[in-house]
Amino acid sequence: MKRWIWIPALMIAFGGPALAAEPIKIGALYMLSGNFANYGISSKQGVQLAVEEINARGGILGRPVEVVFVDHGKPDQAVREAKRLILENKVNFLFGIDSSSVSLAVAPVANEYKVPLVVTHAATPRLTEMCLPYVFRTSNNARMDSWAAAAFAAKQPYKRWANIGPDYEFGRVSWEDFITRLKELKPDVEVVSEQWPKFGSSDYSSYITALMRAKPEAVFSSLWGGDFVSFAKQAIPFGFFKTIKFYTNPTGGALQALEPLGKNTPEGMLVSARYWFLYPETDANKAFVKKFHDKFGDYPSYNAGEAYSGMMMLAAAIEKAGSTDPDVVKAAFEADGGLKFESIEGLKWMRPADHQVFEDLVWGYTKNTDKYPFAILDPIVVVPAKDTIYPTECAK
């Protein structure tokens, strides 16, 4: 009988420290295969770097961070993977997500199991407007990009506007948000043409000629990735960028598009990058870019920067909470008017009502230089966070 006493005693003696250092488990879902794997891979690299740094400084609350990366694929696959991470891997948090449709499918699952989900890339405004208590987004969304573009557009003297965007939710919502906001700020604008090429199209020439025929002064475009590259390559020899006085494209500042375009990038496009590796010129950001470049041989793309910052912000929330309990972490994100976190990109503020982060948005005009083999943003123009704070339907 007496001997039983020894077992708990031994457990405390030897198991104690091990228990205290039980890792914080995070399941990271990114698009690691398929057509957009280049986005998922750079997001993953951002997370890897953040976790390395967190663990090097002793983890979070003295516990190491352990990340399980999975390829999220399409929404149904992502839901299966998310459930597997929750039920089998017993993760404390879900993290990441590149695709908007995947984010909309995974969010309710995370919420149901009370496993907080922190989204770092998917940009549909609908995600945070679902008002789910355990879902957070630390990157800016497409509506904020559209509002920022509208803020610039309203200051331009141009009245004749046209759109070209991919024919799916992101393209449609981006244009809707943009033109609605622009008409609020500048009621005398008119829409002369809307073009909706299929997402993933390779040939844009007939859309380009149709656009130019409508003689717009300014064009808004939500084409991204390879679509944006093909569009730009075809628009140049049509003289598109010489005829159009003002061209704006949120996500056009993504390195995924600027690197392949190289020196063929049209200059003077007003583009956003969500995160741009040369801004802000702080020691923290420079150190991040250097470390990233040393480790992966490339500059961090916008989504790598967002993934890194998102992980650091989650770490800050857990530190503040003093626990990984979902309700305590949620409270830490929401308390004191919302968590304010100084990231490499600048200040990120979590709006308590909808769990959407607001931050200064970095935009700029494309310019080719001798310093980089691709176009950079010069001059950079920053949209203050307050100009992108749209009303939310979520009550708080």
Partner 1 sequence: MDPSFVILQFLTGLAYASSLFLLAVGLSLIFGALGIVNFAHGSFYMLGAYLLYWVLRGNPEGLWWGLVVVAALGFAIGATTERLLLRPVYNRPEHYQILLTYALLLVIEDGVKLLFGAAYKSLGPPASLAYPVWVFGAPFPAYYFVQIALALVVAGGLWFFLQRTRTGTLVRAATQDREMLEALGVNVPRLLTVVFALGIALATLGGAATLPMQTVSPGIAVEAVISAFIVVVVGGLGSVWGALLGAFLIGEIQAFGVLVLPEFAIAFVYLLMVVVLLVRPWGLLGRPPAVRT
The residue ranges that bind partner 1 (CB under 8 A) are 34-38, 41, 167, 193-198, 200, 202-203, 205-210, 213, 225-226, 229-230, 233-234, 236-239, 256-257, 259-262, 264
d(CA 19, CA 40): 33
Please say which residue, 24 or 254, places its beta carbon nearer to partner 1. Answer: 254
Smallest separation (angstroms) from partner 1 to the CB of 289: 19
Q: How far is the CB of 169 from partner 1 (least distance, A)?
A: 15
**Cβ nearer to partner 1, comparing 206 with 282:** 206
Q: Which is nearer to partner 1, 141 or 195 (CB)?
A: 195
Name which of 49 and 258 has its Cβ closer to partner 1: 258
Nearest CB to partner 1, comparing residues 210 and 284: 210
**From start to end of 292-373, where are the E strands?**
340-343, 346-351, 356-358, 361-367
Q: How far is the CB of 269 from partner 1 (least distance, A)?
A: 16
Q: Which residues pair with 129 in a beta bridge?
A: none
Hey, is 262 helix, strand or coil? Answer: helix
Give the residue with the Cβ less far from partner 1, 264 or 282.
264
Contacts of 167 (CB under 8 A, 6+ apart): 196, 197, 198, 199
Contact 115, 131 (CB under 8 A): no
Distances (CA, A) of 235 to 91, 135, 163, 204, 242: 47, 40, 14, 8, 10
Cα pseudo-dihedral 162, 164, 169, 174, rounded to 10:
-50
* Cβ 84 to partner 1 shortest distance, Å: 24
> Measured between alpha carbons, how far is 199 from 222 in angstroms, rounded to an integer?
11
- Residue closer to partner 1 by CB (options 138, 301) is 301
CB of residue 273 to partner 1, shortest distance in Å: 16
Closest CB to partner 1 among residues 216, 346: 216
Name the minimum Å distance from CB 201 to partner 1. Answer: 8
Residue 6 burial class via C-beta count within 10 angstroms: exposed 0-12, middle 13-18, buried 19 and up: exposed
H helix or E strand, kind and range, residue 48:
helix 37-56
Minimum Å distance from CB 299 to partner 1? 13
| Long-range CB contacts for residues 51-56, cutoff 8 Å, separation at least 24 | 51/311, 54/311, 54/312, 54/315
238, amino acid identity:
F
State the minimum distance, in angstroms, from the CB of residue 77 to partner 1: 17
Contact call for residues 359 and 318 (beta carbons, < 8 A): no
